[in-house]
Structure 1
Amino acid sequence: MKKIFIPITLVAVALLSSNCSNDFIEVAPTENIAEADLLTIYNNNEGAKSFVTAIYSNALSFSASSFSWNGLTSMTSDDADKGSDPGDSGTDKDKCDALTLDATSLSVQEVFETNYQGISKANIALNYLPRLDKADAAVVARLTGEAKFLRALMYFNLVRCYGGVPIVDHVPVPSSAEDTDMTLIRKSKDEVYKFIETDLLAAIAALPEKSGYAISDLGRATKGAAHALLAKVYLYQGNWQGVKDQSTAVTGYNLVTDYASIWREVGEDSVESIFEIRGYGGNPSQGIEGYMVSQGARGTSGWGWGFNTPSASLANSYEAGDVRRDATIIFAGETMWDGRVVSPLVANPRYNEKAYVSNTKETFNGDWETTKNIRVLRYAEVLLMQAEAANESGTGDVTGPLNRVRNRAGLANTTATGQVALRVAIRAERRHELAFEHDRWFDIVRTGQAKSVMAADGKTFVEGKHELFPIPQKFITQANGKATQNPGY
């Protein structure tokens, strides 16, 4: 009888059997279960949901959303420093900070690997969902849309980090040479973006709006989330009309009044929130590994490791009166919103407030796996994408959406006029609105600012190299000549 690797809880699902030649893009097997039994046990609505819950759960891992992801997307940029103690490298976070990562760096490997683990779970779900004939067809269709949205999100992470990567679009057959090549041969960046677009268009057609979900299902991918992500995908390709079309299709959302409340527990699933990584997975008590602890203040009266600290460059870049500065940065010696007094003797002068969870006003109790949700897509970013697309295309309302974001931050309407000045203003708003939301590094790269921005931060950005991170050496070795390294590594 045919066997597949899958745990009973479906919290982690294997992509390949253990004899596959490429074990890098693979989830370790945990248990054998006969496929016929699987299609019996899980052939119902709850069983169908379990396949997709496994994909969501992937984002809870330490490397997926916390340490390595912060290293590549934040500590590399001018918004953040490594933090912690000078003698604590965080394995390679000093290299993230200095732009000296290489193909053997752990952060490079973990981000690559964990996204493919999630993609493997999506492919498992997409393989089995159509075969669950005792589950409601409408539920299966929606779950298929969720799986495609999540797969697209993970490929978006990969293509921004590494450029062209293998497109693994189905569960590979271990004995198939063609499928082995599928897992090893890199596609072009354009091909990856096209694959993402196809998945998101399918998700848009299948998913309900946020208002169409029961309260118990909040946090699942929605039609609005798929439109917003596709707008962002088009933003990275300079497809301004696509950005306009997709961002205006994001309806039913608004800005919350209090910017600081967005990252508190009361701000979860707000009218501004389009998609969040939720602080629980297949196990309701499971949280996001190390997100709070790895970024908490370190040293005297501290509560964490102290990594990924706001830079002086970021702290000094805000306009006077911008409420986002204090909502984003914890300063040594300050009294926080929940009454906690931060010792002036902590190891670093600044910490990331968006990662903070209160132990008196919220639910933090020192657990490694915290319940804090991570905001991935917000309506404020949709407005900023609208402004950027209008400015770059020369048509549409630039200042309207831009000023909505500024006004919420306590600032007056922009005084910028003309395309060049407005471009500078929009980029500044993205920096301040989205600080520590995993966008700054990618923004300075996609807009061609990276060399000058990093030079001002005292770091050398090598054009033709640093636009991408290296492909992990482990994968290059396993590819055995079928995959090439990124330039400069």
Structure 2
Amino acid sequence: MKARSFNKNIFNAGYLLIMLGILASCKKLVELPGNPPSFINREQQFADSASVMSVVAGVYTYNQSKGFGYSDANFTIATGLSADELSTTLSSSDRPQFYNYSLTPLNGSIIGLWQYPYQALYQVNDVLEGISDNNKLSASLVNQLTGEMKVLRALYYFNLVNIFGGVPLVTSTDYRVNARLPRASVDAVYAQITADLNDALNRLSPDYPSEARYRPNLYTAKALLAKVYLYQGKWQAAYDEADDVVGSNVYRLSEVPLNAVFLDGSEEAIWQIPAKNSYQQTAEAQNFIPSGASTPRYLVTPFLLNKFEAGDQRRQRWVGTTVVNGNPLSYPAKYRNRQATNLPLEGYMILRLAEVLLIRAEAAARLNNLANALSDVDIIRERAGLEASTADVTSQDAVLNAIMHERQVELCFEWGNRWFDLKRNVTPSTSAATVLNAVKAGYTPEAALYPVPQAQRDLNTSLDQNDGYR
């Protein structure tokens, strides 16, 4: 399904685990068996609960070539440039193509946005196959791990479908089938996502299965499902799932200073994985935080900077500033630790309470419950040090615009939320065409989807290309 990931060499290799180096970064995600071997064959991987948990730890490892599929900041950078959040000083790279909508199927970063999630999906499917009908494992462990893997699979497909549109639905490890799969429709991908998440709801407990919140629980599945329903326009379903998460009282907004939101063990985290390895913490910090007096690789756009109101703690805590040749330059700073040794440790946030509050707010507004929608907005504004919203509580468009503004400044540089929001056309004034054409040139409706990498189409002739790309 992708270069180097869905070809025969990798599948014939059988997905060997490089356990010691990978699992050192997983903290206490799982307990390792004593003296684990460096390599184990597939039968050994699923021989007992200890070996299975070693495989599961690899799935969550913050390493895009061996574990979690979004461990290189590529997703954050690409979507931030395509939206109105970021510009880049890397003129000699392929990054400007995202900013000015000149992407081609040969863009190297596009390959990673496809390749690493599919590589991770192979690992997820491998676990699901390895634990299914496995009489060496307890029914409770199989149930738990099946739920977790389906949440992971749903996350990957949610991002893939919003980046590329319809994509191949790979739900097995059979390369002979996967290598020639055509693109499924957007509706079919969403059907798979919701089926996986609803199955996970029936399997997962409200209790987290490991230290901290590194592996999904019931509310993780609900939070992601709320987001999926929101994107599908299923307002009541989105509201209900988000309301369950907020009403659980398991989570609370981190107090100021706001950089505490992204610390390892954040009380706001619904799902957060440990990112530290031998040379760095998050890839976002490595890419965004300048080294010494150097020019940042990526700058926060003046457009976004101007959206922060006076006194907004998010502007002060989540945007950094350096002076180069007398010029102040602003860069993303939600993650600040460039070095592995920097303390306190940061963890990589996947889902957090503030986003769920904004999902609930938007769903409520769509259901014309405008006062409740603004109440959720004001909870987040208060944490940011701002007064309550002044949006007209009698106007649905005014309330939706207030929610979109809050999403813009609260969720900047996180999981492509701004790029996806612009494409959702929530209101006429917040649509991609309206906003982006006023900020920069080149946006067309075809730019809403990225091209399928040409390397994938060379391997799989069943893959058609998105409109607007050759």
Name the TM tier (shorter chain).
0.7 to 0.9
**Counterparts in 2 of 1:366-405, with a 5 A limit?**
372-395=346-369, 397-405=372-380
Counterparts of 2:338 and 2:175 in 1: how far apart (Å)? 48
Report SS of the residue matched to 2:448.
coil
Instruction: Tell me if the contact between 2:436 and 2:443 (Cα under 8 Å) persists in the aligned partners.
Output: yes
Q: Tell me by how many angstroms 1:57 deviates.
A: 2.1
Equivalent residue letter for 1:415: T
Tell me if 1:272 matches 2:272. Answer: no
Per-residue displacement from partner, 1:294-341 (whole Å, max 9, x unpaired)?
21225x534xx7223211111111111111111111112xxxxxxxxx
Please name the residue that 1:55 is paired with: 59
Report the residue type matching 2:241 in the other structure: Q
Whether the 8 Å CA contact 2:17–2:39 is kept in 1: the answer is no
SS of residue matched to 1:466: helix
Contact persistence 2:259–2:334 (CA under 8 A) = no
Structure 2: unaligned runs, 5 residues or longer: 1-10, 23-37
Q: Name the structure 1 match of 2:5.
A: none
Structure 1 residues 3-402: aligned runs within 5 Å: 5-9=14-18, 35=42, 38-39=43-44, 42-57=46-61, 60=64, 64-84=70-90, 88-89=91-92, 91-172=93-174, 174=176, 178-181=177-180, 184-209=181-206, 211-215=207-211, 218-250=213-245, 251=248, 252-258=250-256, 260-263=258-261, 267-280=263-276, 285=278, 290-297=283-290, 301-302=293-294, 306-332=296-322, 343-345=323-325, 349-357=329-337, 363-364=341-342, 372-395=346-369, 397-402=372-377
Task: Provide the rounded CA distance (Å) in 2 between the counterparts of 1:179 and 1:314.
Answer: 41
Query: What's the TM-score once normalised by structure 2's chain length?
Result: 0.84
* Conserved? CA contact 2:311–2:385, under 8 Å: yes
**2:450 aligned to 469, 482, 485, which one?**
469
Q: Which residue of 2 aligns with 1:487?
A: 467
Q: Hey, what's the Cα distance between the residues in 2 that align with 1:272 and 1:346?
A: 38
- Structure 1: any 5+ residue segments left out of the alignment? 14-30, 333-342
Indicate the larger mover: 126-135 or 408-417: 126-135
How far apart are 1:113 and its partner, in Å? Answer: 0.6
CA displacement at 1:278 relative to structure 2: 2.0
Q: 252-261 vs 72-81, which deviates more?
A: 252-261
CA distance in 1, matches of 2:185, 2:49: 38
Amino acid at match of 1:442: F
- Quote the offset at 1:63 in angstroms: 7.6
The answer to whether residue 414 in structure 2 is matched with residue 414 in structure 1 is no
Q: How far apart are the structure 2 equivalents of 1:65 and 1:3?
A: 25
Equivalent residue pairs, number: 431
What TM-score does the superposition give when structure 1 sets the normalisation length?
0.81
Q: Structure 1 171/308 Cα, relative in aligned 2: closer, same or farther at 3 Å?
A: same
C-alpha change, 1:243 and 1:158, in structure 2 (3 Å) is same
Greater displacement, 349-358 / 146-155: 349-358
Whole-angstrom CA distance in 2 between matches of 1:12 and 1:165 = 32
Q: Give the Å deviation of 1:51.
A: 2.3
Alpha carbons of structure 1 residues 307 and 358: separation in structure 2 relative to 1, 3 Å = closer
Q: CA deviation at 1:273?
A: 0.7
What is the identity, as a one-letter code, of the residue corresponding to 2:290? A
